[in-house]
Chains A and B, each alone.
Chain A
């Protein structure tokens, strides 16, 4: 099975940088996703990592260390619209490649 942990809540200032961590313990691993979910809306895809290292996409970057079972999402130049929940999700390596979500981190960006 999968066990995925994230901080419940974080607060950061507009214009700053914030790092949201995710640790996981899995019986098999075949990739890690980050999704963004604004209140009352559906989750939307942000990033995917399957190999160790940093993937950068504009203001957002995601890092993975498979040996440590650890990932982080880095948000730069925070904007008010970045206030949302950020969900870490792990795909397992079984035949059905199930995606399991963490509990999510609610980020509040303040002026």
Chain B
């Protein structure tokens, strides 16, 4: 009965490869997000979708392409991986109300070698 689940938990890959991270939420939330947490633990928003529509895109390289097939799923595809992409990627969801908290997935630790 996990609320926000993302897979895989760990991803180790070579530079130049393409990889995907999947996220699903069973909370009935309207809005889903991808956040990147770097080695200094700074959590930075990348994308947000509301009812499958992209509403936030924070100057992320276009090698990163989010896809939301329905409002319960938000996947992240990354092309031509670079060393600097190594980080923990968190999926999150919320209702689109001011006081609604974010529910985070357990994170995907991506290591690019």
Contacts and interface: CB of A to CB of B under 8 A. Distances in A.
A61 interface: no
Interface residues of A, number: 24
Contacts of B104: 42-44
Nearest to B50: A96
Q: Which of B55, B99, B103 has the most CB of A within 10 A?
A: B99
Contacts of A42: 90, 104-107
Main secondary structure of the interface of A (DSSP, over half): strand
Interface string B70-106: 0000000000000000000010000010110111111
Interface stretch (A17-25, A75-83, A100-108): A100-108
Contacts of A104: 41-43
Q: Which of B42, B43, B96, B106 has the most CB of A within 10 A?
A: B43
Contacts of B106: 41-42
Interface of B: 35, 40-45, 48, 50, 55-56, 90, 96, 98-99, 101-107
